[in-house]
Amino acid sequence: AMTDVLSAEDIKKAVGAFSAAESFNYKKFFEMVGLKKKSPEDVKKVFHILDKDRSGFIEEEELKFVLKGFTPDGRDLSDKETKALLAAGDKDGDGKIGADGMCLEE
């Protein structure tokens, strides 16, 4: 579960901060949820939780539900938010994010 890696309190705060439509900022979200301070192993654990179909990648349709991956009451991302998140993490332009793109650094 996500709470094995991240604090339930941090998850709740981070998801709540972006509850308004079109407000999602992945950099702020990953920072608030505590992902930036985690080891590469922990980041990979989070990645595998979000990779619902176990393909080894997070595709656009999985990204839309990224907040639900952190907590069941998270909202769906808009198409615009989903595309921005995909563009940030898709290092090679293949339309999906591999585990190495998960940190979404600058």
29 labeled part of a ligand binding site: no
92 labeled part of a ligand binding site: yes
4 labeled part of a ligand binding site: no
Identify residue 48 by its one-letter amino acid code: H
Which 8-state DSSP code applies to residue 106? Answer: -
Which 8-state DSSP code applies to residue 59? Answer: E
55 labeled part of a ligand binding site: yes
61 labeled part of a ligand binding site: no
7 labeled part of a ligand binding site: no
38 labeled part of a ligand binding site: no
Kindly provide the residue ranges of all beta strands, DSSP E only, lying in 1-106, ordered along the sequence.
57-59, 96-98
Question: Which residues fall in the annotated binding site for Ca(2+)?
Answer: 51, 53, 55, 57, 62, 90, 92, 94, 96
Binding residue positions: 51, 53, 55, 57, 62, 90, 92, 94, 96
